[in-house]
Amino acid sequence: MRRSRNAKVVATLGPASDSAGAIEDLFLAGADVFRLNFSHGTEADHAERVRTIRTLESKVGRPIGILMDLQGPKLRVGTFADGAVRLEAGAAFRLDLDAALGDGRRVSLPHPEIFAALSPGTDILLDDGKLRLEVLSCGPDHAETVVRVGGPLSARKGVNVPGVVLPMSPLTARDRRHLAFGLDLGVDWVALSFVQRPEDILEARELIGDRALVMAKIEKPAAVDRLDEIVSLCDGIMVARGDLGVEMPTEEVPIVQRTIIRSCRREGKPVIVATQMLESMTASPVPTRAEASDVATAVYEGADAVMLSAESASGAYPREAVAMMDSILRRVERDPQYRVLLDGQHGAPRATLADAICCALRRTAHVINARATVSYTRSGSTSLRAARERPVAPILSLTPSIDTARRLTVAWGIHSVVVENEASDEASMTELACEAVVEEGFAEAGDNIVITAGVPFGVSGTTNLLRLATLSRKAA
C-alpha cells in the first residue's frame, strides 16, 4: 500500500464515515491519518472507530495514524428571553456574569476569565465574528460595550477576544476526561485547541507523557505571536484557519499559514493545513477551482499534510473528497516547479550529527539518483529529520515500534514499516534495508539506495551513520 505522493491526507470521521466499509473506502481512496473530533460524538462512538481502524490496519498491513482533536474551552454568550435579539450599530450593550435571560440591552457571559483580561478599547467578536463590540468600561464581572458592527444574535453564540491572552487553560475538565479516554484507546496524536502560550504545551505534556505526540492547533493571534516557542515545544502543528480567520483579518490568514509552515519546516516538525479545504464537497461531488488551488498552495508551500473536516465526517461525498485531495496532491508533486519551490524553501540544518547526516542523505540521494532513502529509527526522530530535508527519493522508515510507525504517518514523504528483526551491525542493517525496499516496491536490482542509522544500534538519538548500497539480484 505505497502512496505515490509525499504529502499526507488527514480525514475526519463522523456520521457519514462511521462504518467499517466507509473507513476502508477512505483509506483506499488516500487517507493516511484519521481524525477523531471530540467536539462531537460519544466516547462509545470514538472507541468503535478506533477498533475499526486497528482492524483495517491489520487487514491492509500498513500503519494508520489516529489523531484525537480536543474541543478546548468554548466561549459563548448565555440565552435570551425571546430567543434572539438584534444589535444595532452604535447601541450600548452589556455583558455580565448575571445568569438572568438576556434582552436587547444585555446578556450573560459566563466566563470570568474574559472579564479579567478586558480593558477599554478591546474588541469582542460574537457569532464567528459577524458582530463586533468595543469595550468602553469593564470590571471583574461585567463589560459595558458599544456595538460597532451589529446584526442578529441568538443564544449560545461563540465569543472571540482577538489580541488578548485569556487567563485560562486550554484543557477543560471535559477535555481532561476525553484525553484520558483517548490515551487508553491508544491514539497516536493529541491535537490541543485554544493554545495561546508555550506553557499550554507543557501543561498538556504533563498529562500525556510519552503515550502520544502533541499537536498544537494555531488558531489564536496570541499563539502566532509566540509561534517559534510553541513549535519548539510541541511535536507538530495544525494551522486551524477557521478560528484564525475570525480573530484576525481574513487577508492575514494566508500570510500566517505560510509563516507557520516555514517555522515547522525549519524545526522539522510535521504541519497540517486544515479547515474548509474542499468545503463545497460536503454537498457537491466536485470542489470549486478555488478550493483545488487552496489545497495545491499548501502542498507547494511544503505542508506535511492537508485535512478534511466536514467533507469526510458529515458530507454527502466523503470518499470522493478524499480521492480528490489525493489527486490534487499527486498532480502538484508531478509539477517540476514543486521541487524547485521545495528546494528554495530549504532551511539550514542545525549543527548536530543527525542534521549533518540527513543533509548529506538528501544531497547524496540526488547525486547518485537513489530510488529510496532508508532510515532506521526507534523514536521516529531520525526519519523526521530526514523528512525535514525533503529528499527527492522517498523515505522508507524502518522501526521496531508500531507506535512510532503510526505517529510518522502524518509526516511528509515517510513510508513506515515495522520490522521484527533489528539490525545488530552494519552488514545486517544493509541487508534489511535492501530487502525492505524491494518488498515495499521502491527499488529493484541495480538501483542505488541511501541508508542512515545510528551506532550503537537500538539506541535512540544516535544518528551518525550514512551508507550507500546498490541492490544485487539476490536482494531483488
User: pLDDT per residue over 205-241, tens digit each?
Assistant: 999 999 999 999 999 999 999 999 999 999 999 999 9
Asked if residue 71 lies in contact with residue 194, where contact means CB atoms within 8 angstroms, the answer is no
Q: Residue 268 is placed in which grid cell?
A: 522539522
The segment(s) of the chain belonging to CATH 3.40.1380.20 are: 353-470
Residue 139 burial class via C-beta count within 10 angstroms: exposed 0-12, middle 13-18, buried 19 and up:
exposed
The CATH 2.40.33.10 portion of the chain extends over 84-160
Read out DSSP for 140-181? TTEEEEEEEE-EEEETT-BEE-TT---SS-S--HHHHHHHHH
CB atoms within 10 A of CB 342: 21
Question: Which residues, at least 6 apart from 143, have a Cβ–Cβ distance to it below 8 Å?
Answer: 94, 95, 96, 109, 115, 118, 124, 135, 137
SS3 per residue for 288-352: CHHHHHHHHHHHHCCCCEEEECHHHHCCCCHHHHHHHHHHHHHHHHHCHHHHHHHHHCCCCCCCC
Predicted pLDDT at 407 = 98
- Write the CA distances from 315 to 86, 196, 289, 319, integer angstroms: 32, 31, 19, 10
pLDDT at 73: 94
Please answer whether residues 107 and 97 qualify as being in contact, where contact means their C-beta atoms are separated by less than 8 angstroms. Answer: no
pLDDT single digits (tens) 320-371: 999 999 999 999 999 999 999 988 887 777 888 888 888 898 899 999 999 9
| Cβ atoms of residues 124 and 135 within 8 Å | yes
Q: Confirm if 414 and 1 have CB atoms less than 8 A apart.
A: no
CATH 3.20.20.60 positions along the chain are 8-72+170-341
Which cell numbers in the block locate residue 75?
466561549
Tell me which residues are annotated as active site.
Answer: 35, 76, 217, 275
The domain made up of 84-160 is a member of CATH 2.40.50.1020 = no
Give me the residues of the chain with pLDDT under 70, please: 458-462, 473-476
Select the CATH number that applies to the domain covering 353-470 from these four: 3.40.1380.20, 3.40.50.12780, 3.30.420.40, 3.40.50.2300. 3.40.1380.20
Q: Are 387 and 360 in contact (CB under 8 A)?
A: no
Q: Are 426 and 467 in contact (CB under 8 A)?
A: yes
Selected from 3.40.50.970, 3.40.50.300, 3.20.20.60, 1.10.1740.10, the CATH number assigned to the domain covering 8-72+170-341 reads 3.20.20.60
Beta bridge partners of 469: 449
